[in-house]
Amino acid sequence: MKIGIFTDVYYPDINGVVTSIRMLESEMKKRGHEVYIFSPSKHEPAENEQLYMLKSMPLFVAKEFKFRVATFYSRTIAKEIKDLNLDIIHTQSEFSLGLFGKILSRKYDIPFIHTYHTMWEDYMHYINPIKGRTWYILKKICKDFK
């Protein structure tokens, strides 16, 4: 099976999402699956890693964390994904690359699954300047991830 994992954070960052993705990637490869990672451009591919990086820029509302946000869509990567003939798209983010994965799953009729890693209501105060609207924003972001 060819699995595309779409994530807004990946190694060398160290956090629970990255750990989860790397464990999933490792276990899927042990079972003979091909795993392709789609992430922002700050990451360096490790040996034997199928890593596709989208152009990205620093997240202006959280510069101190050195997060990067990938461009919302890449025609070049979209064509490469079509050529890869993925069997499944597995998104790991509700933001730029998660939305990109969801769009491509619809465009190319690829089955889609999503892992919701983060209880955003506990973190929105870091990135949401509009207090009191956390649930509204989360519902809007996650509406499509069913």
65 or 73, higher pLDDT: 73
The tens digit of pLDDT for each residue in 26-53 reads 999 999 999 999 988 765 655 556 888 7
Quote the pLDDT of residue 116.
Answer: 78
CA 14 and chain centroid, separation: 15
Distance CA 54, CA 38 (A): 7
CA distances from 130 to 10, 30, 141 (A): 28, 45, 15
Q: What is the pTM of this model?
A: 0.76
101 or 9, higher pLDDT: 101
Q: Given pLDDT bands bounded at 50, 70 and 90, which one contains residue 59?
A: low
Domain that residue 11 falls in: 2-142
Quote the pLDDT of residue 118.
Answer: 66
CATH no. for residue 78? Answer: 3.40.50.2000
Overall number of domains in the chain = 1
Would the pLDDT of 80 be above 60? Answer: yes
Would the pLDDT of 62 be above 70? Answer: no
For strand 50-54 and strand 56-58, is the pairing parallel, antiparallel, or unpaired?
Answer: unpaired
% of the chain residues with pLDDT over 90:
29
Quote the pLDDT of residue 17.
Answer: 84
Quote the pLDDT of residue 123.
Answer: 63
Q: E strand or H helix at 50, and its extent?
A: strand 50-54
Q: Quick one: which of 87, 143, 83, 93 has its CA closest to 115? A: 93
